[in-house]
Amino acid sequence: MGDGVYIIRQPIGPSAAVHPGSYSFRLFPPTPSSTKRRRTVAWCSYQAASMAVARADSALPLGEGSVVNWSGQGLQKLGPNLPCETDIHTLILDKNQIIKLENLEKCKQLIQLSVANNRLVRMMGVARLTQLCVLNLPHNSIGYVEGLKELVHLEWLNLAGNNLKAMEQINSCTALQHLDLSDNNIHQIGDLSKLISLKTLLLHGNIITSLRMAPAYLPRSLAILSLAENEIRDLNENKREIDAF
């Protein structure tokens, strides 16, 4: 099963009313269209991220916040003159050449930060942005998750297309609702059991071989779990684990 499996978990029909909290599972085995489906999921994730930013912007009264968009400016580093006045709630730095997140200390009121398609190797610079709700860092070279312990308001985290090998340092973000770790090098499902608000978990395009720990590590709040294009070998064995979940 080299291409993995795409899984959606949700209540089905009247059974949800008869047995509150119980779930049935829909398993979608790999097909020739699995690549197209994965791209569709990734596109939907990107679109949803944009919508999340738009929703947060529209929720802010006029005059109580602003957006700074420095995308595609050829930036290689974030200098001390980074515009982070107290009224700035969204900072977009996509499609630059930034290697390190630095000089963000004065941006303490940021609600949304996007540094997609850069050259980041670490993400520790977000640690003091304690008001963040949306953190968008896909398509970089980040090797491990860090700096999230104090981000108690974080609801949306996108780390797709990086060099992550493990799902770690995420369990403290208990407000998370959407987590995208697709297209990394993750080999097993990590402990996300404390993410009691998590609804969407995207893990397609990794090297996961087993779902054995899924019942213990995945929260009951989860509604969508994407595992397409992994290396899940025994679907029957893993289906038993899912049924237990």
55-73 pLDDT, tens digit each: 444 333 333 469 999 999 9
Could you give the number of structural domains in the chain? 1
User: Across residues 185-200, what is the average pLDDT?
Assistant: 97
Per-residue pLDDT at 36: 44
Interval 143-156 mean pLDDT: 97
What is the model's pLDDT at position 111? 96
β-pairing verdict for 66-69 and 24-28: unpaired
Residue 48 domain-assigned (yes or no): no
Residue partners of 85: CB distance under 8 A and separation at least 6: none
Q: Specify the pLDDT at position 241.
A: 57
CATH code, domain with 115: 3.80.10.10
Structure token digits, residue 140:
């970089």
d(C-alpha 228, C-alpha 150), whole Å: 32
Whether residue 13 lies inside any domain: the answer is no
Q: What percent of the chain has pLDDT over 70?
A: 69
State the residue for tokens 């107290």. 86
DSSP string for residues in 198-242: --EEE-TTS-----TTHHHHS-TT--EEE-BTS----HHHHHHHH
CB of 209 within 8 A of CB of 187?
A: yes
Q: Does some domain include residue 23?
A: no
Within a domain: 49: no
- pLDDT at 54 > cutoff 50: no
* Higher pLDDT among residues 59 and 81, named by residue: 81
pLDDT at 32: 43
Residue ranges making up the domain that contains 89: 65-222+229-244
Residue 51 lies in a domain: no
Is residue 17 a part of any domain in this protein? no
The per-residue pLDDT for 81 is 82
pTM, to two decimals? 0.76
Residue 121, domain member (yes or no)? yes
Q: How confident is the model at residue 233 (pLDDT cuts 50, 70, 90)?
A: confident
Q: What's the mean pLDDT in 76-84?
A: 86
For residues 59 and 80, which has the higher predicted lDDT (pLDDT)?
80
According to the model, what pLDDT value does residue 239 have? 58
Count of CB atoms within 10 A of residue 66's CB?
A: 13
Over residues 90-144, the pLDDT tens digits come to 999 999 999 999 999 889 899 999 999 999 999 999 999 999 999 999 999 999 9
- Whether residue 184 is contained in a domain is answered as yes
